[in-house]
Amino acid sequence: MTAELVLPVIFAGLMAVSLLAYVILDGYDLGVGMLLPLGSDRQRDTMIASIGPFWDANETWLVLGVGLLLVAFPLAHGIILGELYLPVALMLLGLILRGVAFDFRVKAQAQHQPAWNAAFAAGSLLAALSQGVMLGRYLTGFAPGAAAWGFALLAGAGLAAGYVLLGAGWLIMKTEGELQQRATRWAQRALLGTGLAVLLVSIATPLASSRIAAKWFVLPDFLLLLPLPLITLALFALLAVSLPRLAARQAAGNDHFCWLPFAASVGIVLLSFWGLAYSVFPEIVIGRLDIWQAASDAEALWVILIGAAVVLPAIIGYTVFAYRVFWGKARGLSYS
Amino acid sequence: MDSFDPLTLARIQFAANISFHILFPTISIAMGWVLLYFKTRFDRSGDAAWLDAYGFWVKIFALTFALGVVSGITMSFQFGTNWPGYMQKVGNVAGPLLAYEVLTAFFLEATFLGIMLFGRSRVSNRVHTLATFLVAFGTTVSAFWIIALNSWMQTPAGVSMLDGKVHVESWLAVIFNPSMPYRLTHMLLASGLTVAFLVAGVSAYRWLRGDRAAGVRHALTTGVTLAAVLIPLQILVGDAHGLNTFHHQPAKLAAIEGVWHTERGAPLLLFALPDEATQSNRYAVGIPKLASLIITHQPDGEIRGLNEFAGAHPPVAKVFWSFRVMVAVGVAMLLASWLAAWQLRRRGEPAPWLSRVLVAMTFSGWVATLAGWFVTEIGRQPWLVTGILRTADTASTVGGGMILSTLLMYLALYAVLLASYVSVVFYLARKAGAPAAANLEGVSA
């Protein structure tokens, strides 16, 4: 009996960690994709070079997250992805366009290259917006009506802004010179958009769902949860203060603490994700199914868990290794 | 395709997605090993031409891999949306096998791909070769798990049924189910042949354009030799796979051979139009007793006909013709590769006409592989999991209009991507040969 109680929780946790890893990792490279049209031709190559070795593996976290949903919570997989059929199809269109444009833009005939650059940026934008809409639809329990769809669109714009912030932070960390200065300005603008979106989503979510409101606005839980919004706020403030100062340092010729904007952005994503997870848990389809109702048989979950326990540390190990290999400022991508 | 109901549309959409997807892993599985071979030859000999070959083909590998990754993401979403009943009934088998594929293969190949492609100046040569190996290994491990699952759906074993659900009794029996070793070997060889003809075809294309770089010759020889060695093996394995199908999936075999009524001494049909309405073949042309001889190894051996599987056999014409397309391409591969290997040995280069044949056959592996998968997948119908779960019982709850509109979107996208891929492969070939070609023009002028 206990296994049937505990295993779904473990798998919900694993799935959440996979999706969180996806949002952070693919988030920065989708963000760089959306920023691509703003760079000059040479800067574009550097921007792509900064994400080139990573994007493939970054996207694999999505396959793992959705794969865990499929294998651990098959009932929920059918319902959620059935409800999200259209935004999922658009997201896949975006991810496919972007993934292939990555290679085609440097390998195709010269006259086709601008089109593939555009496909790269448009695909990144489409994927980010669709994922945000999926999140928004999910949080309202797929409620019908204009208000619920308005909320989903807001979440779409918000997630895209968040990805741009991550992408700009990544570029500040991984590049130098004029591109880095530009990225600092991009980050400042994205910070505004992201802040606004996080604020609106935070206000709208409890309004949209009395269930979620009840989880947050009750004592003593509210006090225990208070650090979450407060630290988020502090991170926004830190970015708002530090980005202009970084710009000033860049003008003076040094980029100390160039990792700070990315780190702070990751912090914001972490806390926002944690807030959302708290709002939803232990439900998996809001208002319809909790994780125990949706879970696969314990016998299957055990087999997967043993595999995951053996393999995940190795995955994390060689992922860290890959990031170390490409540590430091991005150089041009070359096969030689 | 009786009507455009959601089930039919869901099947067409899934077939379109998985058919498009399989094109790219089919190349990347064996291409990883070919690249490792090029790299190792360079490491051992120091001959820069091997590095040239590596440098050219790694670009095509990167492109292929990207297409495989993004088209594969689609699959992880559609398992649940198009076939919600699938995981409910057989999730205890499918769930762990799919999870193990992601955990043991996808991350490995995707992570080390970055180092393999862009890390040569950042890691030691040894680590780079190791990364190349791990990518090739990862693609093969991925094939292992997914073929294990597919084969289990064809020939389920190692499970018991309880409360309408499948429960695993023995994982070894599940993974190494009766058709798995045959299907895995058949598919790995298919991947090898696809890559062999891709490498041979593109190299022949460069050769015809006057590109005589040593790397091109190395690649041409590698492609032709690989093809010439693998095709007879594939024919043997294909025959063994057919025997396995005869024992475990007799309805599929009857459809392949177009045997409507159980018979002894069945002919090998070269041409026929199977007709479901009359339960017979029209315009049949065959070689007497040969089908029985091949399958039972006796001229008068009995082949069970479709009549024994009334209401539970696959659509005959599709299976029958897909099989013949696959075999025809296989025969063409045998002729072309042996002739080319012989000419390479005798004269050091293939004749221009044969080079053109090789160019025309650049993507022949795709045709054969797809046709083969059509045989095995359509041949399993009406079952999704043989004897356990019918395809119709897993149907999606998503509306037909939604599936149709996304299907059209996918088809348009795939058409563009396929055209771009093929055109870029040949464009890269022309570009790689451009300096050499310019030199030749300079000499003649």
Question: What would the pLDDT profile of B77-90 be if each residue is shown by its tens digit?
Answer: 888 788 888 888 89
Name beta bridge partners: B274: B281
Determine, for residues A78 and B74 on separate chains, whether the beta-carbon distance falls below 8 Å.
Answer: no
pLDDT digits (tens, 9 = 90+) for B318-365: 999 999 999 999 999 999 999 999 999 998 888 999 999 999 999 999
For residue range A200-231, what is the model confidence (pLDDT) as tens digits? Answer: 888 888 887 777 888 888 878 888 888 888 99
Of A54, A103, A297, the CB nearest to B66: A103
Q: Which residues contact B137 (CB under 8 A, 6 or more apart)?
A: B32, B108
Q: What is the CATH number of the domain that holds A172?
A: 1.20.1630
Copy the structure tokens of residue A229: 């919004």
Entry pTM: 0.90
End-to-end CA distance of chain B: 60
B287 falls within a domain: no
Q: Is the dihedral of CA B287, B245, B374, B360 positive or negative?
A: negative
- On whether residue B342 sits in a domain, the answer given is yes
Is the CB of residue A282 less than 8 Å from the CB of residue A292? Answer: yes
Residue B389 lies inside a defined structural domain of this protein:
yes
Interface test with A, best of B38, B73, B427 (most A CBs within 10 A): B73
Contacts with B114 from chain A: Cβ below 8 Å: 52-54, 56-57, 322, 325-326
Per residue in A106-143, pLDDT tens?
888 888 888 999 999 999 999 999 999 999 999 888 88
d(CA A77, CA A11): 14
Specify if A195 maps to a domain: yes
* A326: in domain: no
Going from the C-alpha of A48 to that of each of A33, A57, A99, A318, A323, the distances in angstroms are: 8, 15, 12, 22, 16
- For residue A275, pLDDT over 90 is answered with no
- Statement: residue B437 has pLDDT above 80: no
In a domain, B275, yes or no: no
Question: Is B445 domain-assigned?
Answer: no
Which residues, 6+ apart, have CB-to-CB distance to A41 below 8 Å? none
Rounded to whole angstroms, how far apart are CA atoms A238 and A270? Answer: 16
Write the CA distances from A253 to A168, A169, A176, A248, integer angstroms: 19, 18, 10, 9
Model ipTM value: 0.86
Q: Confirm or reject contact between B95 and chain A (CB < 8 A).
A: yes
CB under 8 Å, gap of 24 or more: what pairs does A174-179 form?
A174/A50, A174/A329, A174/A330, A175/A46, A175/A47, A175/A50, A175/A329, A175/A330, A176/A255, A176/A329, A178/A43, A179/A39, A179/A43, A179/A46, A179/A47
The answer to whether the CB atoms of B409 and A93 lie below 8 A apart is yes
Facing B424 at nearest CB: one of A89, A107, A326: A107
Q: Which domain holds residue B388?
A: 6-262+304-435
Structure-model confidence comparison of residues B233 and B445, the more confident one = B233
A206 touches chain B (CB under 8 A): no
Contacting residues of B for A112, CB less than 8 Å apart: 420
Q: Provide the H-helix boundaries in B176-298.
A: 180-208, 214-248, 250-257, 290-296
Q: How far is A291 from chain B (nearest CA, A)?
A: 15
Taking only Cα atoms into account, the Rg of chain B, rounded to an integer number of angstroms, comes to 23
Please provide the average confidence, as pLDDT, over all residues in chain B: 90
- What domain range is A77 assigned to? 11-296
Is A5 part of any domain? no
| Nearest-angstrom CA–CA distance, B313 and B303 | 15
Q: Do B406 and A86 touch (CB under 8 A)?
A: yes
Structural domains in chain B (count): 1
* B107 lies within 8 A of chain A by CB: yes
Question: Is A103's Cβ below 8 Å from some Cβ in B?
Answer: yes
Q: Which of A66, A72, A308 sits opposite B103 (nearest CB)?
A: A308
Identify the pLDDT of residue A211: 79
> What is the percent of chain B where pLDDT is above 70?
97
Question: Which of B52, B111, B117, B163 would best serve as a mutation to test chain A binding (most A beta carbons within 10 A)?
Answer: B111
* CB-based contact A56 B110, cutoff 8 Å: yes
d(Cα A319, Cα A308) in Å, to the nearest integer? 15
pLDDT confidence of B444, banded at 50, 70, 90?
very low
Higher pLDDT, A125 or A258: A125
pLDDT value for A208: 75
Across the interface, which of A109, A308, A333 has its CB nearest the CB of B427? Answer: A109
3-class DSSP state of B389: strand
Whole-number pLDDT of residue B2: 44
B245: number of Cβ within 10 Å: 25
Q: What is the largest CA-CA distance in chain B?
A: 81
More confident residue, B148 or A296: B148
Q: In whole numbers, what is the pLDDT of chain A averaged over residues?
A: 89
Judged by CB atoms closer than 8 Å, whether chains meet at B117 and A53 is answered as yes
Beta bridge partners of B282: B273
pLDDT band at B402 (very low <50, low <70, confident <90, very high): confident
Q: Is residue A246 part of a domain?
A: yes
pLDDT tops 80 at residue B186: yes
| Residue B1, domain member (yes or no) | no
Phi and psi at residue B159, in whole multiples of 5°?
Answer: -130, 165
pLDDT category at B199 given cuts 50, 70, 90 is: very high
The answer to whether residue A324 is domain-embedded is no
Decide: A242 and A209 in contact? Cβ < 8 Å: no
Residue A29: is its pLDDT beyond 50? yes
Say whether pLDDT at B439 is over 70: no
Residue-level pLDDT at B435: 60
CA distances to A42, A117, A292, B324, B402 from B69, in Å: 27, 19, 32, 31, 24
- Judged by CB atoms closer than 8 Å, whether chains meet at A96 and B88 is answered as no
* Tokens 């291409």 found at: B31
- Per-residue confidence band for B442, with pLDDT thresholds at 50, 70 and 90: very low
Task: Please tell me the total count of domains within chain A.
Answer: 1
To test the contact with chain A by mutation, choose from B75, B101, B118 the residue with the greatest count of A C-beta atoms within 10 A, namely: B118
The model's pLDDT over A61-115, given as tens digits with 9 standing for 90+, comes to 998 899 899 889 988 888 888 889 889 999 999 999 998 998 888 888 888 888 9
Residue B293 lies in a domain: no
